[in-house]
Amino acid sequence: MRFKKISLIIYLLLTPFLISAGEYNSSVQTRVILKTAVTGNGAPITYLKTDQPEITAMTVDISPGAETGWHSHPVPVYAYVISGSLTVNIEGNISRQFNAGDVIIEVVNTRHNGVNNGKTPVNLIVFYTGAKDMPNVFKTSAPVSPLIEGKD
């Protein structure tokens, strides 16, 4: 029993050193914000297969009350919420809330819409992992909502 307690204490003390972003100098601080193998709707993460990869990094600002409009991405997209609070509605009646400091693993080939329901702007840094001459975003129509039981 004593060995298990000592092992647990050693594990807890060493865990921060085992979970790092790499082998940096001791003056560099790292913190894992998110580690996942799935997108916002639970689908497995896949990578684009291309001979002409192209990364696009950009900022996106969404005013209070504004929305992105329904759209989809044919490529993996990752975003970091700098400020504000964003609701992402995903085809299939899925809704996710993201706040400042959160990472968004966007859905691929699935319609979704980002909405700023707050009183302050939403500021994002977005990374598109696409291919040369390939669009990162396609505007789409909103998905048809299923009828609510008992309603016409």
pLDDT, one tens digit per residue, over 81-93 is 999 999 999 999 9
Instruction: DSSP for 59-81, please give it.
Output: EEEE-TT-B--SEE-SS-EEEEE
Tell me if 110 sits within 8 A of 62, measured CB to CB.
no
Side-chain half-sphere exposure of 92, counting CA atoms within 13 A: 11
The CATH number of 34-139, from 2.60.120.10, 3.10.180.10, 2.60.40.10, 3.40.190.10, is 2.60.120.10
Distance from C-alpha of 50 to C-alpha of 132, rounded to nearest angstrom = 9
Instruction: List 79's β-bridge partners, or say none.
Output: 104, 126
- All structural domains of the chain with their residue ranges: 34-139
State the average pLDDT over residues 118-145.
Answer: 96
Confidence of residue 3 (pLDDT cuts 50, 70, 90): low
Is the model more confident about 98 or about 10?
98
Q: Is the pLDDT of residue 21 over 80?
A: no
Q: Quick one: tokens of 66?
A: 């504004």
Instruction: List 59's β-bridge partners, or say none.
Output: 125
pTM value is 0.78
22-75 pLDDT tens trace: 688 888 888 899 999 999 999 999 999 999 999 999 999 999 999 999 999 999
pLDDT reported for residue 108: 97
Picking from 70-74, 140-144, 145-149, which range would have the lowest pLDDT averaged per residue? 145-149
Q: Quick one: tokens of 13?
A: 């003390």
Q: Is the pLDDT of residue 20 over 80?
A: no
State the average pLDDT over residues 121-141.
Answer: 97
Average pLDDT over all residues of the chain? 87
